[in-house]
Amino acid sequence: MDMSEPLAYRMMPQTLDEYVGQEDILGKDKILYRTIKADRLSSIILWGPPGCGKTSLARVISNTTKYKFTKLNAVTAGVGDIKNAIAEAQNMLLNPSGKCILFIDEIHRFNKLQQDALLPYVEKGTVILIGATTENPYFEVNKALISRSMVFRLHELTTENVFTILKRAIDSEKGLKKYNIKIEDSTLEKIAETANGDVRTALNGLEVAVLTTPFDTDGFIHITDEVAKECVQTRKAVFDKSGDSHYDNISAFIKSMRGTDPDAAIFYLARALNAGEDPMFLARRIVICASEDVGMANPMALVVANSAMQAVHMIGMPEARIILAEAAVYVATSKKSNASYNAINSALEDVKNKDTGTIPMHIRNAPVEGMKKEGYHVGYKYPHDYPGHYVEQQYLPDKMLETKYFIPDENVDTSNYQKKIKY
């Protein structure tokens, strides 16, 4: 083992028994565990956040399989590299099996042409593909490749998983054992918690702490809470604002406001801000929710949300967080009604798919005198000329008479509506 290599690389597991975490897909009774052990692997896509063990699992497979194992990184590799790997796999002198396991890290970075180049060889079984990606493969990977592969979702490692790996690094010869480290379990637990499921972050932080702390007079390196905090300064961002988890978080934010849970709304707002989300993007989502989900149950929600969006635009961060929080709480705690949302969706559906007839002549515009001779605007009743500023007359086309789009629910206050309008 080259001890100049990063600790995170040195601590990568060599066998399935050394692998920590992902028990839901790598338990001894699970299909992925059994196929790796039996060396009967078919093409798979490993999908999960950074530091959850995708590359480590590929390394375990490379140490387990009898097939030729080739690794490419989609950031630097091209179609030529794919063809070279396949040519080597098909060389019966160098590779009697005629097959290879091709591990492609960051496979979502391959364009359509590069992904298509793999298809015929995956189809024939010449290539057993292992693709690793941090992005949703159902969006980023060719559907034909997905249909020929099993997709396994890897989750963030638990704090206990990361603690186990840190403890192992302290005691391992290939880890940090030679440094005579003294560190409390509680300090290791804090490092593990701060890493937020990313074991690479945790190991890098521990290594920095050890390498930058001098030996004490007793011959040991003492890693205290203060040293650990300095080396792993901030809790790792929960998601990448441009990645798949961006959409998961904003979905949770909106659903929390819709579900009248202000605490959850504030929590997901904080996650988004901590990850560097654009405050104006968040403000626009609040405005949409105010109209779509609060609607006529509390029309002031749209006014508050729109005012907040303007204030965020003028003020910016970090104070914008306060404005966003106020607007999110207001929308979340307001009564809800999607009557207007349903109304426009139903009307659009009819306009697109039905013969809805023509606009009644009496409510058409007649800017030129001669148009009245054709019936334009003739017979129109001006509501303000009548008691209560209301008069009954037809507005919908003949073919749409009696159609109801806006149907107030129990949260809509109809007390100020025109009394003659029936809902």
Does the 159-231 domain belong in CATH 1.20.1250.20? no
Which amino acid makes up residue 307? Answer: S
Q: pLDDT (tens digit, 9 = 90+) per residue, 121-164? A: 888 888 888 999 988 888 888 888 898 889 999 988 899 999 99
Residue with tokens 């990063």: 6
Nearest to residue 405, comparing CAs of 352, 342, 351? Answer: 342
Does the 22-153 domain belong in CATH 1.10.1760.20? no
Cβ contact 146:120 at 8 Å: no
Q: How far apart are the first and last CA of the chain?
A: 78
Which amino acid makes up residue 385? Answer: D
**Strand 68-73's sheet: what is its strand order?**
68-73, 100-105, 127-133, 44-47, 150-153
CATH architecture observed for domain 244-333: Up-down Bundle (1.20)
pLDDT at position 342 is 95
Mean pLDDT per segment of 10 residues, for the chain of length 423 residues?
79 89 87 88 88 89 86 86 84 75 89 85 86 87 88 90 93 89 91 86 90 88 87 61 73 95 95 89 96 95 96 93 97 96 95 91 82 84 90 91 90 75 53
Domain chopping of the chain, boundaries:
22-153, 159-231, 244-333
Reported pTM: 0.67
From residue 339, give the alpha-carbon distance in Å to each of 29, 356, 408.
50, 22, 6
pLDDT at position 422 is 55
Query: b/e for 287-306, b at 16 or more Cβ within 10 A?
Result: bebbbbbbbbbbbebbebbb
Query: b/e for 333-357, b at 16 or more Cβ within 10 A?
Result: ebbbbbbbebbeeeeeeeeeeeebe
- Tell me the backbone φ, ψ of residue 386, rounded to 5 degrees: -120, 155
